[in-house]
A and B are shown apart, each in its own frame.
Chain A
Amino acid sequence: MAAPVTTAEDEYLGEHHVYRPHKAGLPPLGRYLSELWRRRAFVRELARAELKAQNYQTALGQLWLVLNPLLNATVYFFLVDILSNGKNRAPNYITHLLSGIFAYTFFSSGVSQAAGSVAGGGKLILNTAFPRLLLPLTQIVIAFFRFLPTLPVLAVVIAVNNRDHITWNLLLAVPVFALLVLFTAGLGFLCAMLQVYNTDFKNLLPYLLRLGLYMTPILWFADSSSGLKGRIAAVNPLSPIFELWSDAIVRGELGPPATWLRATVFSVVILVVGFVVYVSRERDYAVRI
């Protein structure tokens, strides 16, 4: 027998489960969250395993993670130039576009991977009982690791293109990105639940995500936009995060407090709604897939 692991074993002996008919409802939150925290090593291991399968450790694999958004940004650069007849190109447009595309790539890959995580998690879900939130959470972690290789590229672009605006305010990008992580996770949970109940949601999602890109101030600047653009930025809950992101990275500015408030409120609300919707139904997933 293995060496005794007494504390853990006592804990297990005390375990007591009662399974009753499932009604959509939240489990005891404290216990659920502490169980999530206890399984964090599982999230890390699962993320590591999937990243390995995606060739994350190889130089070529990392190169593609950078090339993909770079090529996307190039295409959009030409698209916007053509549509505007090559006029009105704002200063720092390239930095704005690149930083926006990089962050949006994190957002869209996080959401779409999280969306597929439950519907595609068949064996694991049918054979092991664990808090189901771990599956989409793992995908957010993976999306974050896939975002990391783009940071050095962003640093070079800022150093070359934006030398005048390098200030301590650049560090504001960190809390802005944290808000984006909350937003991404919340929306990812929501989409994961939707995909379990509607198997064709995965066909619709890429279009929604692309529409989201155009409706967020990434290809355009938020403040140069009166009229339709301004109205879109006002109603799009993702918009304030990207406005702050651009303010911090491109201009080295703090950004208006009202925008911070909107970004924080939207992120937290989306996270809470996504969490509640997902977790309150999670015991039903095994029956559905």
Chain B
Amino acid sequence: MPSVSEQPSVTDERPAREFVSDRPGAERERQQEKQRVTVSVRDVTITYRTALDRKANTFRQRLLSMGRGSEPRIREVRALKHVSFDVTQGTVMGIVGPNGAGKSTLMRALAGILPPTSGMIEVNGRVSTLLALGVGFNANLTGRENVMLGGLAAGLTRAEVRERYDEIAAFADLDDGFIDMPMRTYSSGMYGRLAFAVAVHMEPDILLVDEALSAGDATFKHRAFAKMQELMAQARTIFLVSHALGSVVDLCNDAIWLQRGELVARGGPQEIVDAYTDSLKVKRDAISMEDL
């Protein structure tokens, strides 16, 4: 087991004052539920079986290998190894680590997209995802149609999406007319902005953001930060994967460091980011993770 620091999250120190409720009693309810564990990851391991031969998953290959009596070459990749942690409501959890550390795999597992190979994940609440590839937008549809499609895919009703539409469009703040043009005409920044706008307006209890802030320009980043702080203040839980370590420190109140599928450390964002950047400067294998 990698060492997991036991210190509690700093959630409780963060005031939730700027939250404006639209529901009587919601504030009090949320206060009471604040310490509720929203995400619980228990000893989760995820293994991908990837075929080295691109044609391994074909009838042809199966027949051939039956004839030869040989198995297609399969490599097992353990993307996550015995990862455990709990997250309480209102936590903004930064996840740092080098490429291939298992960050995106962890996000997909939390969203219920990838089943764990062993272990258990418990999630309390509605999840909205903003993962690395965009939200499955169809490039031939207009932005407006994609907002509807994205919202419906996330499980909202048509009326609920319509209700949020103006806010989403205002938030994405695309140049005039782009919202009614096919999304293949969008720049990658505009694409990312609309995707972010849709994801944060699903009013999720748990928001998963994977490297999505990098596409927008400075103005948009600023607005995205503000929106995430607003969600945070509403005691929603956010997971943020980012290589922009500065934004992890600014936004998060808790952080974990993943490396080669193992949870190396958990702690305050500054502490984790410092440790992680230190590790990048020296030879990776030489670091003693136990000290963190």
Contact = CB atoms under 8 A, between A and B. Distances in A.
Interface string B120-143: 111111110101011111101100
Contact of B126 (A6, A15, A284): A15
A2 interface: yes
Given A1-B22, A197-B57, A201-B59, A13 B113 contact: no
A287 B109 CA distance: 11
B16 to A, nearest CB: 15
Contact of B123 (A6, A16, A204, A286): A16
B72 interface: no
Nearest to A23: B115
B23 A204 contact: no
B117 interface: yes
B244 interface: no
Majority secondary structure of chain A interface residues (helix, strand, loop or mixed): helix
Contact of A45 (B58, B118, B140, B152): B152
A240 B203 CA distance: 50
A129 B112 contact: yes
B136 to A, nearest CB: 4
Interface stretch (A36-44, A152-160, A162-170): A36-44
Interface residues of B, number: 57
A42 B135 CA distance: 14
Majority secondary structure of chain B interface residues (helix, strand, loop or mixed): loop
Query: Looking at A20, A128, A288, which has the most chain B CB atoms within 10 Å of its CB?
Result: A128
B22 A4 contact: yes
B20 A39 contact: no
Given A12-B205, A204-B59, A21 B149 contact: no
Interface in A114-156: 123-130
Interface of A: 1-6, 8-9, 12-13, 15-22, 38-39, 41-42, 45-46, 49, 52-53, 123-130, 197-201, 204, 283-284, 286-288
Given A8-B160, A123-B137, A125-B113, 7 more contacts: A2-B203, A17-B121, A53-B138, A126-B131, A127-B135, A129-B113, A201-B59
